Amino acid sequence: GEDVEQSLFLSVREGDSSVINCTYTDSSSTYLYWYKQEPGAGLQLLTYIFSNMDMKQDQRLTVLLNKKDKHLSLRIADTQTGDSAIYFCAEKRDSNYQLIWGAGTKLIIKP
């Protein structure tokens, strides 16, 4: 199986909260990232969290990290149509500077 796993799709209503989940396998992860890719664009760093943190909040974004379960989530409050994109989870391990990527979750906003 893949080292970083995400659901491929998430559909939410405009104005609701979106929660995008990610699981990883390596306990030596140091940083975990969320990147956003809008249609026709490259990836843009949204936020990241250091592995000794449980939560990080930045305006409408909340990142939760459960290191015991190796579970990372991104919550987007008051989801807007502009949030439509693919969201990638990535981890950086202590043993390897390379980022290990998930396959991305496509967020679909329903009116």
Residue ranges binding another protein (CB under 8 A):
2, 4, 8, 30-31, 35, 40-45, 48, 50, 88, 90, 92, 94, 97-104
DSSP string, 20-66: EEEEE--TTEEEEEEEEE-TTS-EEEEEEEETT-SEEEETTEEEEEE
14 or 94: CB nearest another protein: 94
Min separation Cβ 92 and another protein, Å: 7
The rounded distance, in Å, linking the Cα atoms of 91 and 3 is 9
User: Do 65 and 51 touch, CB atoms closer than 8 A?
Assistant: yes
CA-wise closest residue to 77 among 19, 21, 10, 7: 19
Min separation Cβ 72 and another protein, Å: 15
16 or 94: CB nearest another protein: 94
Min separation Cβ 47 and another protein, Å: 11
12 or 46: CB nearest another protein: 46
